[in-house]
Structure 1
Amino acid sequence: MRSRLLVFLLATLFLLPFGLLGLLAVGEGWRFPDALPPAYSLAALRGLLSADNDLLAGLGRSLLLAGSVAVVATAGGFGVARAVARTGGGQRWLLLSYLPYALPPVLLAVLVQPFIIRMHLSGSVGGVLLGLLLVALPFATLLLGSFWTRQATEYEQLARTLGCTPRQALRLVLLPLAWPLLRTTLVQTFLLSWFDFGLTNLLSVGKVRTLTVQVFTYVGEANAPLAAVASLLLLLPPALLLLANKSALLRKP
């Protein structure tokens, strides 16, 4: 009985923000101290069906940026972690991966913005992608550094001894062994880029309107229905990733 009550309370706490956002998306003229909106309208939701809808365009840009950052950062982090593990003083190099997190994202964006401007990438998707990689790549390196142990090296050497080429050893031995950690890194770097606001907003100079930027814009305009719809779209991919990885998260050690 207690376990069911605990599950019910946790489910209520988890679903409550979604219910509130749903009411804000369809409510009209909802003012304090009203417990519920006095009127309802689907205008904000119907706007998603229009071909030139800004929210759908922002969703596409966010998916493109977060997906690209996740793939590039995971692949790059896998290679960088391998190179660090094979060099002397690997821990010293891994410590350097913490440097991007010693500064707030906005301050980091201010420091790299002159270089982005010199590369003629200011206000472009490429400039934002490069800025996000400066944060996501070290993060992926730190996560994947735990894979390159002595055991992984021995597995690779054994595969090479049995006649595998370096590419075959990577594809048939190392990647299957590292897949659980690679999957975790893909999800984490995706979420890191998906929810970023400060770095994206500064490097894009208002031209790359991702979903996160749009949420803050609508909140600043006091446009509650569009802010709620944008927030629901912002929460959709993480919720789908959570469901897709439910079996891995609930797996008993």
Structure 2
Amino acid sequence: MKLWKPAILSLLVILILFPFVYLVLLSMASNWRFPEVLPAYFGLKNWSRIFGSETGLLGSFIISVVISLSVATVSTLSGFFISRTVSYHPRKNTLTLLTYFPYIMAPVVFGACLSFFFLKLGLFGKPTGVIVAQFMIAFPYALIFFSSFWNERTKSLENLVATLGGNRVQTFFKVLFPIAKGMLLICFFQTFLISWFEYGLTSIIGVGKVQTLTIKVFLFIKEANFYYGALSCCLLIFPPVVLLYLNKKYVFNKIV
């Protein structure tokens, strides 16, 4: 059995890495048709066009980063503060149950239900509308995530600070934020990923005008442009890989 473990582990690593390696290779190829074993061209031509106006991938990447950072920052901070009120509320169970409401429906159906109100508010087809729509599914996640932080131990610490003469601002910035730093980072990473990979709400509220990377990936696939689709997928998985590395280095290792 010991002899099989390295082989099985190596096979698993190859299976996990193969899709990512294949995406990179496909993004660097062109004119690769059956039954040719190798593509007619293999180089950085597709990547060089990312800075041009032909694909608009650079603009989509920037829009995606701005939207995801905005959603993650606002959702994490507001979720942290408001989760305290929800956790200490007499009707905590009812309020917690309501936070699951956005997840009852599929994102496309949820977006269709919201489209009328966004149209009336002038947010339809705008990045601001996409941020607000994604916030409506990221914020409940943050509420649920931080619900476990507000327990009897945390309440005792708040009471201790109040007894020593500390006000609410000092309690949050000098005590609660340092204690919850790990959870805040994890929630930020998670809400960033929720926004980053969101397609349904973005396609409905953005109506094709707000072309994030996820929208671009599906557009290239529909056009049968697999090379640009692979290139946009490479850009799509780059920030999550960076966040995973930062999460492991600065959050997970400290917790362990």
TM-score scaled by length of structure 1: 0.94
Q: Deviations over 1:68-127 (max 9, x none)?
A: 000101111112210111210202110111110000000000001101011011110111
* Alpha-carbon distance in structure 2 between the residues aligned to 1:170 and 1:62: 31
Q: Structure 1 pair 131/184, CA: closer, same or farther in 2 (3 Å)?
A: same
Residue number in structure 2 paired with 1:213: 215
Cα distance per residue 1:194-237 (max 9 Å; x no partner): 00011101101111010000010011111111111100000000
How many angstroms apart in 2 are the aligned matches of 1:184 and 1:194?
Answer: 15
> Which residue is equivalent to 1:146?
148
Q: 3-state DSSP class of the match of 1:36?
A: coil
Please list every run of 5 or more consecutive structure 1 residues that lacks an aligned counterpart in the other structure: none
Q: Which moved more, 1:68-77 or 1:31-40?
A: 31-40
Q: CA deviation at 1:45?
A: 0.7
Q: CA RMSD in A?
A: 1.8
Percentage identity across aligned positions? 35
Cα 1:178–1:6, aligned 2, differ >3 Å: closer, same or farther?
farther
216-225 or 39-48: which moved more?
Answer: 39-48
1:159 corresponds, among 161, 179, 185, to 161
Q: Is the 8 A contact 1:23 1:37 kept in 2?
A: no
Distance 1:156 1:130 in 2: 32
Identify the residue that residue 228 of structure 1 maps to in structure 2.
230
Q: Deviations over 1:117-151 (max 9, x none)?
A: 11011110111111101100001100011101111
1:61 counterpart SS class: helix
1:64: which partner in 2? 66
Tell me which residue corresponds to 1:45: 47
CA offsets, 1:47-77, max 9 Å, x none?
Answer: 1233786111001000000110001011111
Instruction: Quote how far apart the aligned CAs of 1:167 are.
Output: 0.6
Partner Cα distance (2:230, 2:207) in 1: 24
| 1:74–1:186 CA contact under 8 A, matched in 2 | yes
Counterpart CA distance in 2 for 1:5 and 1:160 is 59
Q: How far did 1:14 drift?
A: 2.5
Distance 1:239 1:165, change over 3 A: same
